[in-house]
Amino acid sequence: MTDLRQQALDYHSSPTPGKISVQLTTAAETSEDLSLAYSPGVAEPCREIAENPDDVYKYTAKGNTVAVISNGTAVLGLGNLGPMASKPVMEGKALLFKRFANIDSFDIEVKHKTVEEFVNTVANIADSFGGINLEDIKAPECFAIEKALIERCRIPVFHDDQHGTAIVTAAGMMNALDIQGKDINQANIVCLGAGAAAIACMELLIKCGAQREKIYMLDSKGIVHTRRDDLNDYKKLFANNTDKRTLDDAIKGADVFVGVSGPNLLSQEQVKMMANNPVIFACSNPDPEIKPELALAARDDLIMATGRSDYPNQVNNVLCFPFIFRGALDVRARTINDEMKVAAVHAIRALAKEPVPAEVLSASGTTELSFGKDYIIPKPMDSRLCGVVAKAVAKAAIDSGVAALDLPENYME
């Protein structure tokens, strides 16, 4: 662990502090170049944009930029570290946007006193960018922030901790249930955790066919049920009319366990209480709700996923968020709606069923991958993801009426 700590610090500090920089995309070598780049030549695109605001996409980089914005109130699993401590994570997000989808990204860390102040700050700068990726903002404020910004902004606003997690979870979950011979419409689901990721995951699973009344959500006080009087508006959506009160109660006969909570909260005994052929997504990072080796030792008929790269079936947001924005930007979608999210789910889950090319095996550091218990979702290094997911999202944006442009000719072929 000490070695990893030092390696991480060295990685972020040298040879240059941070992980991102700005590069020029046009010539700036001669006096003539500079007269075009700045005064007097720059006045011409300014005039064009003043006459037709949409020309900002023609003459500036707006259409290929995403702002990654946080207030640092929920940094990874570390808690409320503040805006500056969130900056390495936001720079990391910018790195992923560029590496996987060739999107230019700028990290912005906001200091504020109220939700309204944060929303006003972001809304007032939003038009500088093609999209906004919200990150590491604690619940329940994150829900109000995202909703307000979607209403006020004319560009896509996407809280990745909610929807990115939900999309990858849903894709993997539906594939896992297929393999286990189970129907999502009939599955009894236990969700340990009731924050932003948990609520978004369950809402998207419902859109994919899960039944709300078959979902048992737990927070730090136990089952979220209808007789509790301490629930916020978001938890109330999952208040189950049940006599069950504890994880032990809920896990009996459960088909699915989704953990977005904390380490070591699911025991081997509880795993044994689940239904035949269960599915466990233990996504707490870096330490899951139960270690895969312990869960698999308890029973051999389960499918196991975590958020970690050193186990099979990693639930990783990088499988979707760069490509969702790629597709949204390329057809100039004004929002990222449910149709686009569901399209991403089905594109990701379908790719896992395709034969895996040799270059993907090599990039993933393995010699064989085929759809099954240890491969229910694609690997992050699968270069096919960009084309498959971006195209599905772009088509869904067009079909649902939120795109300003048609699909470019031969898009992603």
DSSP-based three-state secondary structure for 130: coil
Long-range contacts of the stretch 22-29 (C-beta < 8 A, 24+): 25/61
The C-alpha atoms of residue 188 and residue 357 are separated, in whole angstroms, by 36
Q: Which of 180, 92, 245 is nearest to 376 (CA)?
A: 180
The owner of tokens 């939003």 is 126
Residue from 62, 93, 235, 379 carrying the catalytic annotation = 93
The owner of tokens 């389960």 is 302
Q: Are 136 and 122 in contact (CB under 8 A)?
A: no
Q: Give the rounded distance of the alpha carbon of 367 from its chain centre.
A: 28
Backbone angles phi, psi at 159, to 5 degrees: -90, 100
Residue type, 237: L
Q: Are 132 and 69 in contact (CB under 8 A)?
A: yes
Q: Are 99 and 20 in contact (CB under 8 A)?
A: no
**How many residues would you count in the chain?**
413
The C-alpha atoms of residue 202 and residue 192 are separated, in whole angstroms, by 11
Whether 93 is catalytic is yes
CB atoms within 10 A of CB 407: 16
Residue from 38, 111, 221, 353 carrying the catalytic annotation = 38
Whether 234 is catalytic is no
Q: Are 352 and 375 in contact (CB under 8 A)?
A: yes
Which are the catalytic amino acids? 38, 93
